[in-house]
Amino acid sequence: MNLDLEVQYAIHPEGTPPASAFRHWAEAALADRQEDTGLVIRIVDEEESRALNRDYRHKDRPTNVLSFPFEAPPGMPAGETGHHLGDLVICAPVVEREAEAQGKTLAAHWAHMLVHGVLHLCGLDHETPDEARQMEAREREILERLGFGDPYDE
């Protein structure tokens, strides 16, 4: 699999991972994929996160990561859209606060948010207890391969 990755830094506070780290984590999360894949990651402030969360999820607050799976424009044949997986929007200030509150390293929480978002783009969810168990098990497996601890260990 070849990953076509674009990382957009709307903000770039200290401790924000470089594009190479995002690539490494995304490739680990997508290791089972055979086809070439495109992904956009945008690092934002709380204002942009809040606006997107409000407009698309009807929750008027910033959030750690938003996943926007790619949808082909109406009428476009599937073969002409390429293999773009979707876009992730990660709110740096929220990730930083959560890492501190949860006693995690900043890198570990950034990796977790990236893996979590990519798994959403791949169709995993956590709306039901069974879905949550499956998704969390996959997150643990990927993060362990990356050298990080269990993100849900309290």
pLDDT, tens digit, for every residue of 74-126? 877 766 666 889 999 999 999 999 999 999 999 999 999 999 999 999 999 99
State yes or no: pLDDT of 152 exceeds 70. yes
* Range 3-70+79-145 has CATH code 3.40.390.30: yes
pLDDT, position 49: 98
pLDDT, position 78: 64
pTM for this predicted structure = 0.93
The domain ranges of the chain are: 3-70+79-145
The string of DSSP letters for the chain reads --EEEEEEES---TTPPPHHHHHHHHHHHTTT--S-EEEEEEEE-HHHHHHHHHHHH---S--SEEEEE--PPTT--GGGSTTEEEEEEEEHHHHHHHHHHHT--HHHHHHHHHHHHHHHHTT---SSHHHHHHHHHHHHHHHHHTT---TT--
pLDDT, position 71: 86
